[in-house]
Amino acid sequence: MGKFTLGFLILNFMLSICANSILNQGTRYMNVIEARQLAKHVTTSEGDLAILQSVDFTLNAGEVVAIVGPSGSGKSTLLALLAGLDSASSGQMDLLGAALHTLDEDGRAAVRAGQVGFVFQSFQLLPGLTAVENVMLPLELAGAADARERAAEQLQKVGLGERQHHLPSQLSGGEQQRVAVARAFVVEPKVLFADEPTGNLDRASGDMIVELMFSMRAERGCALVLVTHDQRLAERCDRVLTMDGGVLQ
């Protein structure tokens, strides 16, 4: 083998190592969530209670995953950990490249701001704020200058353009959840978390929320983790995981 060929081979080898490390870097950020051996314990008057045990979970960019399982099995607790709303007792939890287990509440809030949306079963709108003010909140937290215009536009998209200045108490359950969906999507999140979003709604309102959530998600291509009791809804997801007694299968 001539000197030139050997040099060429070495150069090629080094280039392939470089390319590989760049690619690996890329795939590292492909994961929206990477949770390893997550556990959650709480101290009660009866002693230590294990709510979640040894949860491993990976969510890819744009993926839609359903979590099903009996009431009390730990679904809401897990969602709160994955979204950075609560901290685990042990384990590692990366959300959008940030190591949440190393951050305090303020640090986790900074990761969530502008990147993460939530829809809860009980809507969780602030009762003293109008619909548009509720939708503006996450934009203001993320420091957006045009919060009111963007919030109004988002309310239009969920069919509540005429109800902007109404308080939550002046809206039906389905309408309140539409405000919550607008609030979740207004920041253009990379990942949306929904905890039984149709659990407090009648069938028709629930169906409308589901269609809105799925179409708004598809438009943006963001990832979705959805806790649901509704088998039809679970079937529309890319993957269905089951929570049982604090263990995810």
Binder of residue 42, out of ligand ADP, Mg ion, none (CB less than 5 to 8 A by kind): ligand ADP
The answer to whether residue 77 forms part of the interface with ligand ADP (CB under 6 A) is yes
Residue 152 CB, shortest distance to Mg ion, in Å, is 32
Query: DSSP string covering 27-69, please?
Result: HHHHEEEEEEEEEEEEEETTEEEEEEEEEEEEEETT-EEEEE-
Strand boundaries in the chain, DSSP class E:
31-44, 47-60, 64-68, 90-95, 98-99, 116-119, 191-195, 223-227, 239-244, 247-248
Residue 72 CB, shortest distance to ligand ADP, in Å, is 4
Residue 66 CB, shortest distance to ligand ADP, in Å, is 13
By DSSP bridging, strand 31-44 and strand 90-95 are antiparallel
**Please, which residue, 187 or 243, has the CB nearer to Mg ion?**
243
- x-or-dash pattern for ligand ADP, window 28-47, by CB under 6 A? --------------x-x---
Residues 197-226 that bind ligand ADP (CB under 6 A): none
Report in angstroms the alpha-carbon separations of 78 from 85, 88, 199, 200, 242.
10, 9, 18, 20, 12
Do the beta carbons of residue 61 and residue 88 sit within 8 Å?
no
Contacts of 220 (CB under 8 A, 6+ apart): 185, 188, 189
Binder of residue 205, out of ligand ADP, Mg ion, none (CB less than 5 to 8 A by kind): none
**Please, which residue, 25 or 71, has the CB nearer to ligand ADP?**
71
Residue 81 CB, shortest distance to ligand ADP, in Å, is 10
DSSP summary character for residue 175 = H
**Please, which residue, 51 or 160, has the CB nearer to ligand ADP?**
51
**Please, which residue, 79 or 135, has the CB nearer to ligand ADP?**
79
Q: Applying CB under 6 A, which part among 24-32, 70-78, 164-172, 176-184 lies near ligand ADP?
A: 70-78
Q: Applying CB under 6 A, which part among 55-63, 74-82, 132-140, 209-217 lies near ligand ADP?
A: 74-82
The answer to whether residue 245 forms part of the interface with ligand ADP (CB under 6 A) is no
The answer to whether residue 228 forms part of the interface with ligand ADP (CB under 6 A) is no
Long-range contacts of 54-58 (CB under 8 A, 24+ apart): 54/247, 55/91, 55/247, 55/248, 56/248, 57/33, 57/82, 57/241, 57/248, 58/31, 58/33, 58/34
Q: Which residue has the tokens 């709510």?
A: 51
**Please, which residue, 74 or 206, has the CB nearer to ligand ADP?**
74
Q: List residues binding ligand ADP (CB under 6 A).
A: 42, 44, 49, 51, 69, 71-77
